A and B are shown apart, each in its own frame.
Chain A
C-alpha cells in the first residue's frame, strides 16, 4: 500500500495516524491467519464541544473544520476513535445532553466506515456516565480489527479517575482470551501511568491496570486528556497521547499552574496541529518538529 506523504501529514495534523503494520505484534497476528493487511485509523481527542473562551475564539468551528478536512482527504482511514472529552462539561444536565447531541450531529458527517467513542471526564464524571451512555453507548468496550485487538478502558466515569476492580476484572477476562504475543491496542482518556499527578494527569489505580497489561508483549496505549503529543514508555509498553481539537495545554509541570496555552491570532492553529517526534538512542535523544493543521512547519 502506497501512502502519499503530504496526505499522510495532513491527516497527522488532525490527530495521530497509526498504521496497523507498525503496531508491535501485528505481523504475528497476520502470520497466524490471513496475509498481513495494512490499515490506518485516526485518533482524535478532546474536542470539548461547547467550550467557549479566549483559548479558542473559533471554538464553534474547529471540530466542523476537522470533519471537513478528514472528508476532503484522499486517504480513508478504516475508522476513527475519539479518546474522550467529546464535549465540555457543564452542571446543567440539559445543556450537557444538548452538547452531546450537537457533537454527534457534527461527527456523523465523517465519511469513514466506523467511528468509536470513549468518554472523558468532561463527558462522564459528573453523572457517572449516565448521559454519555444514553448518547454513545458503553463506557468500555473491545473490538477486533484485522487481527488487532482493541480494548477501550474507561478511567473517567469514576470522578476520582479510577478504573475500578469490576472493570479490571473485565479487562483480565478480555486479555485472558489472547496469547501473550497478540497485538493489542488499549485506548483510554487519562494516562494510565503517573504522568503528572499534581495536574491530575494520572489514573488513580493505573498501576493496577498496568500490572494486568504488562504480560502482553505487543501492547500499545493511546490516550488523550493532556491536549498535546506525549510519548512515554512504562516497562515495555509505549503510551502515546493525542493533541486536542480545542486548545493545547503546556508540557507536564512546565509552568506553576496548568492553564490553556494562549490563543495566538498570528498563528490560530498553533498547538492544534501535530508534532513530529523522533526518538533516538532508545528514547534518550528526542527531536521535535512542529506542524500546523495544514501541514506547514511552524
Chain B
C-alpha cells in the first residue's frame, strides 16, 4: 500500500514538473501591434499577470517610439520596420504607454494602455 502511495505521489510530481517545464520552454505569446500617426492598434493590450509576451510593433508610416515607463520599457519603431518588445508583468494593473518620438500634430494623442489582468 505504501509503495502505491509513493508511486502516485511521484507520478503527480512528475506531471506537475512536466507542466511547469513545458510552460517555461513554450515560446512567449506574440501580440502584433501597429503604429501610425497618431495611434497604436490595438491601443489596449491585455495580458495575464506573470505572462511573458512579445509585443511586435510595426510602423505603417514614419518613425515612432514606444515607451512604457512603469515597466522600464522603451523602443524605437522604425518606419516600415518592426520592433519586438518583451514584457513580463509581475503585478496586475493598467500601465499607460505612449509614443515618445515627436511625430506631428496629434503626437500627444498617440497613447495606449497595457492591462495586466490578475
Residues of A bordering B, CB below 8 Å: 88-91, 121-122, 125-126, 156, 159-161, 194, 197-200, 204, 256-259
Residue of B69, B97, B111 near A258 (CB, 8 A) is B111
A253 to chain B, nearest CB (A): 8
Which B residues are CB-close (under 8 A) to A90?
Answer: 104-105
CB of B96 within 8 A of chain A? yes
Which B residues are CB-close (under 8 A) to A258?
Answer: 108, 111
Which B residues are CB-close (under 8 A) to A156?
Answer: 102
CB of B56 within 8 A of chain A? no
User: What are 24 A-B contacts defined by CB distance under 8 Å?
Assistant: A89-B105, A90-B104, A90-B105, A91-B105, A121-B107, A122-B105, A125-B102, A159-B102, A159-B103, A160-B102, A161-B100, A197-B67, A198-B68, A198-B69, A199-B96, A200-B98, A200-B100, A200-B107, A200-B108, A256-B96, A256-B113, A257-B111, A259-B108, A259-B109
- CB-based contact B100/A204 at 8 Å: yes
- CB-based contact B104/A126 at 8 Å: yes
Which B residues are CB-close (under 8 A) to A194?
Answer: 69
CA distance A194 to B99 in the complex (A): 16
Which B residues are CB-close (under 8 A) to A161?
Answer: 100, 102
CA distance A160 to B67 in the complex (A): 11
Residue of A88, A122, A159, A199 near B98 (CB, 8 A) is A199
B111 to chain A, nearest CB (A): 6
Which A residues are CB-close (under 8 A) to B99?
Answer: 200
CA distance A197 to B69 in the complex (A): 6
Which B residues are CB-close (under 8 A) to A122?
Answer: 105
CA distance A197 to B65 in the complex (A): 13
Q: Chain B residue with minimal CB distance to A196?
A: B69
Residue of B96, B101, B111 near A159 (CB, 8 A) is B101
CB of B70 within 8 A of chain A? yes
Residue of A121, A199, A257, A259 near B102 (CB, 8 A) is A121
Additional A-B contact list (5), CB under 8 Å, known A200-B100, A200-B108, A259-B108: A122-B105, A126-B102, A156-B102, A200-B67, A257-B111
Q: Chain A residue with minimal CB distance to B68?
A: A198
| Most interface-central of B102, B107, B109, B111 (chain A CB within 10 A) | B102
